[in-house]
Structure 1
Amino acid sequence: MKQFVAVYGAEPEGVWAAPGRVNLIGEHTDYNDGFVLPFALPQRTVVGASRVDTPEWTVWSEQTGERITFDLSEHVAGWAAYVAGVVWVLREAGFDVPGARMALTSDVPLGAGLSSSAALESSVLTALADLGGLDLPVDERPALAQRAENDYAGMPCGIMDQSASIRCRAGHALFLDCRTLEVEHIPFDVAAAGLAVLVIDTKAPHRHVTGEYAARRTTCEEAAHALGIPALRDATLAMVADLADPVQQRRARHVVTEDQRVLDTVALLRDGRVREIGPLMTASHASMRDDFEITVPEVDTAVEAALSAGAYGARMTGGGFGGCVLALVDADATNKVTSAVTDAFAACGYTPPEPFVAIPGPGATRL
């Protein structure tokens, strides 16, 4: 890894990578013990790493040009918190984490709802587990990476992002039951069906830690408590209709209907009926817009323009308040849909969007 050599003057012991992700469907269901269906992106965070003999960690980021050294005696802030959080959570779990020097580079877009933070955590965790020879099964790693983000970095995310970054397979979507953590790899070869998943980065920045994401999670937990159930995974629409608080009712209705949309999407994909998932994607977006209230004008405009240009379905992906839109389109229609969205953004005076075609890739690995 040339960046590692440039920073530290030696070759790394190894190079590891973990991907960003898009969520095909199933938004804000993970922390409600529900179902999600993400897939890994080709875009990845790559880390070169070598052990050192002292219990300290140095990390350099190509994106910022910063080199930060820490030993966990004080809390680390900023982007390096995601690295320090991984070291911290591994040590909290009883692992003898080796000191290390690391160099990071990434082509996962930042602030676009594509889980750049999970890609960072997952790549570092994979590297440290290998460097230290840690007895850490792959299926136990997402929960540790999630805890690093929740308890150290301060972002109350569910387990979907880290699960996708670590456990996905190329050519498949990851059907994850967020209560049992059981996974099923669902074939998702859109190209074979003559289709493409167009990801449109709306360039509308999303900021979860500002409190909106946490507020949605709190409201869901309050709704579950009001219904006397462990989580909204256990609710029905009839139960939701009995909620006295109208905000809780809307939030819960989204979760209940979104869980069902995930199950319906999985059933269609198992049968190879890829085009037919389009209306479920569009219904998901309407639910996020109207019941969960997490969309912004840029993403709504992108969805409407994509559908008008012939997309089979379109929805925002990620935690909300900005970020990316997915559109399921004919493979030969990507330019047409891209042009329609770009023109719609220009008419509204928005920053030009950045589209790309997403091909389901593998999870975290040593290169």
Structure 2
Amino acid sequence: MLDLDALRQRYQEVADAAPEGLWFAPGRVNLIGEHTDYNDGFVLPFALDRKAVLAAGRRDDDTLLIVSLELDEQVSLPLADLAPGQDGWSAYLAGVVWALREAGHDLGGATLVLTSDVPLGAGLSSSAAIECATVAAMADLYDLDIAPMDRAKLARVAENAYVGAPTGLLDQAASTLCEKDAGLFLDCRSLEAEQVPLPLAEQGLEILVLDTKTPHSHVDGEYGARRASCEEAAALLGIPALRDVTDLDAALAQLDDETMRRRVRHIVTENARVLDAFEVAKNGHLADLAPLLDASHASMRDDYEITVATVDLAVEQARRSGALGARMTGGGFGGCIIALAPAGQGERIGAEVAAAFADAGYAAPEWFTVLPAPGAGRLA
């Protein structure tokens, strides 16, 4: 639970005034649709009730004063000095201000004091939460009229161009546009988005999010290798992106490399699973999502080869412990799993996964249960 009183107090200490308001943006999990985003495909994320919160107010000295409550660190940056390539946690906030100014928005300095309970390095989009909270705060402080999807795009510019992380739009769109008890069906080519009801509690369900505590790092190039393989396959097939495959068997027959065939099979079948999940959610029987989650995990494990031993064990044990379905969520090579569980059972399932980890000699995981939460906005 975030200590908002401590956040306000810290703002008072550094600014010698009360904040003008509190703004937040959530982390997210991807219900289904992994690695489909950069293939112009479909995704279905929802927002967590874990979030980044900013106490914020304007300054008249054209300076950004950025403070982290958890790290007990502060950074002061003249607006004129903002430039891509800045290192450290403060770059995610400064990059948003830079992106807004680069887009032509008239804004001055600000004091931004940050607190967050979105786990770091777990694939839950902690960076997007910080960016989208900053967009929300600066837009309100300086009376900027920016549509929700455009806010997400500006947050992505901050991450891509300022921080230097080549992410897609999924994280920022989810953190900005999601609604309570709903998922966000997003077409990553057209950027058309539709809210999809996910009334889990009404149907006696909840989602367990379990962090395997295996850092999901892509520094060894595996993430980039997957993307390059998809782009090469699309070129060989003569299509703009793998989203455009209409006959999977025919496409696979045109490819000689077995590894590339597996990569293509995952993307094409994962896109189909997202579309199926969209229909399931619209039809209102959310327990029917379970086999789609299971099939998604098998595809990530066998065809896209992005799971690791801890993730596979967590998924297998969650199912043995009574989860209806489970899958890895996020870019892979570690990070989190999600499990669709009967209401009230998620905590027990998490504890049984932890026991299985202990038996296997793995570090203890962390877990919590969630229901879909609203996207970025003002708290106070």
Give the TM-score of the pair, scaled to structure 1.
0.96
Task: Verify: 1:142 aligned to 2:149, yes or no.
Answer: no
Structure 1 residues 97, 222: closer, same or farther in 2, change over 3 A?
farther
Instruction: Say if 2:54 and 2:112, in contact at 8 Å, map to a contact too.
Output: yes
Counterpart for residue 40 of structure 1: 47
Matches within 5 A, 1:25-174: 25-70=32-77, 71=79, 72-74=81-83, 75-174=85-184
Instruction: Say if 1:142 and 1:166, in contact at 8 Å, map to a contact too.
Output: yes
Structure 1 residues 209, 103: closer, same or farther in 2, change over 3 A?
farther
> Which amino acid counterpart does residue 2 of structure 1 have in structure 2?
Q
Instruction: Say if 1:288 and 1:295, in contact at 8 Å, map to a contact too.
Output: yes
Alpha-carbon distance in structure 1 between the residues aligned to 2:162 and 2:260: 28
Alpha-carbon distance in structure 2 between the residues aligned to 1:284 and 1:112: 19
Helix, strand or coil for the counterpart of 1:259? helix
1:172, distance to aligned residue in structure 2 (A): 0.5
1:334, distance to aligned residue in structure 2 (A): 2.3
- Which of 312, 317, 331 aligns to 1:319? It is 331
Structure 1 residues 123, 100: closer, same or farther in 2, change over 3 A?
same
Instruction: Say if 2:82 and 2:94, in contact at 8 Å, map to a contact too.
Output: no
Counterpart for residue 4 of structure 2: none
- Which of 3, 20, 28 aligns to 1:21? It is 28
Between 201-210 and 29-38, report the one with greater CA deviation.
201-210
> Which amino acid counterpart does residue 134 of structure 1 have in structure 2?
L
1:243, distance to aligned residue in structure 2 (A): 2.0
Task: Verify: 1:5 aligned to 2:12, yes or no.
Answer: yes
> Which amino acid counterpart does residue 239 of structure 1 have in structure 2?
A
1:73, distance to aligned residue in structure 2 (A): 4.7
Between 60-69 and 259-268, report the one with greater CA deviation.
60-69
Task: Verify: 1:363 aligned to 2:370, yes or no.
Answer: no
TM-align CA RMSD: 1.5
Matches within 5 A, 1:303-314: 303-314=315-326
> CA-to-partner distance for each residue in 1:275-296, whole Å, 9 max, x for gaps?
1110100111111111111111
> CA-to-partner distance for each residue in 1:250-292, whole Å, 9 max, x for gaps?
2221111111000101111111111111010011111111111
- Number of residues of Structure 1 aligned to a counterpart in Structure 2: 367
> CA-to-partner distance for each residue in 1:299-330, whole Å, 9 max, x for gaps?
11100001112211100111111111100111
Instruction: Say if 1:156 and 1:214, in contact at 8 Å, map to a contact too.
Output: no
Alpha-carbon distance in structure 1 between the residues aligned to 2:269 and 2:170: 18
Structure 1 residues 89, 245: closer, same or farther in 2, change over 3 A?
farther
Task: Verify: 1:189 aligned to 2:196, yes or no.
Answer: no
Alpha-carbon distance in structure 2 between the residues aligned to 1:247 and 1:88: 41
Helix, strand or coil for the counterpart of 2:280? helix
> Which amino acid counterpart does residue 194 of structure 1 have in structure 2?
G
Alpha-carbon distance in structure 2 between the residues aligned to 1:56 and 1:251: 47
Structure 1 residues 54, 210: closer, same or farther in 2, change over 3 A?
farther
1:209, distance to aligned residue in structure 2 (A): 5.2
The percentage of counterpart residues that share the same residue type is 55
Structure 1 residues 52, 211: closer, same or farther in 2, change over 3 A?
farther
Task: Verify: 1:333 aligned to 2:345, yes or no.
Answer: yes
Structure 1 residues 36, 8: closer, same or farther in 2, change over 3 A?
same
Alpha-carbon distance in structure 1 between the residues aligned to 2:66 and 2:48: 24
Helix, strand or coil for the counterpart of 1:294? coil
> CA-to-partner distance for each residue in 1:149-178, whole Å, 9 max, x for gaps?
122212111111000000000010111111
Task: Verify: 1:293 aligned to 2:300, yes or no.
Answer: no
Structure 1 residues 67, 332: closer, same or farther in 2, change over 3 A?
closer
Helix, strand or coil for the counterpart of 1:78? coil
Helix, strand or coil for the counterpart of 2:159? helix
Alpha-carbon distance in structure 2 between the residues aligned to 1:252 and 1:80: 38
Alpha-carbon distance in structure 1 between the residues aligned to 2:228 and 2:109: 37
Matches within 5 A, 1:150-299: 150-208=160-218, 211-236=221-246, 237=248, 238-299=250-311
> Which amino acid counterpart does residue 50 of structure 2 have in structure 1?
Q
Instruction: Say if 1:220 and 1:248, in contact at 8 Å, map to a contact too.
Output: yes
1:337, distance to aligned residue in structure 2 (A): 1.6
Structure 2: state its 5+ residue gaps.
1-7
Instruction: Say if 1:154 and 1:209, in contact at 8 Å, map to a contact too.
Output: no
> Which amino acid counterpart does residue 55 of structure 1 have in structure 2?
D
